[in-house]
Structure 1
Amino acid sequence: MVQIKQSIKLYNQNCLDALKEIESESVDLILTDPPYNLGNFMRGRQTNLKKMRDNFFGDAGWDDMEFEEWIQSMHLYFEQAHRVLKKKGSMIMFMSLLRVESIVKIASKHNFYYKTTGVWHKKNPMPRNMNLHFINSTEGWLYFVVKGRTGTFNNEGKAIHDFIETALSPTGEKKYGGHPTQKPESLFEHFIKLLTNEDDVVLDPFMGSGTAGVVSKKTNRKFIGIEINEDYFQRATLRINDIEKNCYKLTSFNSQEMR
């Protein structure tokens, strides 16, 4: 585990193992973009994705579980997520629209209150197969609350739609290398400011390139990030630490010292 002062803790572990080390009812928001388990599905389609993008997620190896194995892993994840979230804590979970129904069913069995399914529209998606069919420019996200039906919602009296539109992550957000499914900071900032307050704790169990951690630090929230891939973990650590590199020094701790 790597700790950046007391406000940020990063785990280079399997999320199910790392979640067990997090204190019960200590997290205000889980904001995460887990694998959609579409690797096998996409490889069976007639596309030229591999030719158009060398880091195509379907060939990454972390998105190709058998469906039943994926379902079981999601059950274990939601069990731990429910435990670590505070009363009326929230979860925003990005997910392929193909998998939304499955996730809602799993979440309900672990006492998550389903609020809504929204859509993120990418204004500048890669025009894959544009002469063959519609360009894939949307991803789904789900909103849940635990131990209550309404949590923090800082809308300031404004109507907040469940449709969010941003560009993809700009080059400046990939300084230390990108991730095949990296989300832009502006997208995560929307949720963090809406669903948490300053000094609240944000958790991303599938941290990837560390966007949730970067935005949490910039908005004065505490952050816990988990990433199993060592390469992405190192990139995320450097990226998060770069925000105030003159003020924060990385220190390694063992699992007992971080409690």
Structure 2
Amino acid sequence: MAIISEGRHEFIMFASKGKRPLNSKSIPDVWRIKRVTGSQYPTQKPTEVFELMLKGSAENDFVVCDPFLGSGSSAIAAIKANCKFLGCDISEKAMSFSKERIEQFFNNKIG
């Protein structure tokens, strides 16, 4: 059986300790964001996806946790949002790639 098209959606989970409202209710439930092309990491998500999530849910110094770090897009979005970040991945390739990408982000931000 052939795959006719790639998946066009991802599921997002918002979790908090206790009751916590979202920062913004104006964020739509469907986002049209272009997929990353030409990446060296096969499942790289656009940083914009995580930026929108954080816009609606995070404040300065919040801790963002991504146990499926992959290419590090969530880490870069967290840094941009002035959040703390904790990320891990079972794949050594993912950890290496994301570390290099985050370092490159800091180098470009500073220099």
Q: Shared topology, TM-score over 0.5?
A: yes
Q: CA shift at 1:191, angstroms?
A: 0.2
> CA 1:143–1:154 in 2, change beyond 3 Å: closer, same or farther?
same
* AA at the equivalent of 1:154: N
Q: Which of 90, 107, 111 is 1:245 aligned to?
A: 107
Q: Which residue of 2 aligns with 1:210?
A: 72
TM-score (norm 1): 0.38
Q: Which residue of 2 aligns with 1:233?
A: 95
Is 2:70 the partner of 1:198? no
* AA at the equivalent of 1:241: E
Q: Greater strand percent: which structure?
A: 1
> CA 1:235–1:143 in 2, change beyond 3 Å: closer, same or farther?
closer
Greater Rg over alpha carbons, structure: 1
Gaps of 5+ in 1: 1-45, 50-128, 130-134, 249-259
Q: Which runs of 4+ in 1 moved over 4 A?
A: none
Q: CA shift at 1:152, angstroms?
A: 4.4
Q: Which residue of 1 aligns with 2:13?
A: 143
Q: Which residue of 2 aligns with 1:186?
A: 48
Q: Distance in 2 between matches of 1:242 and 1:166?
A: 23
Q: Distance in 1 between matches of 2:66 and 2:108?
A: 25
Q: Which residue of 2 aligns with 1:160?
A: 27
Gaps of 5+ in 2: none
* AA at the equivalent of 1:151: R
Q: How many residues are aligned here?
A: 110
> CA 1:152–1:166 in 2, change beyond 3 Å: closer, same or farther?
same
Q: CA shift at 1:144, angstroms?
A: 4.1
RMSD: 2.4
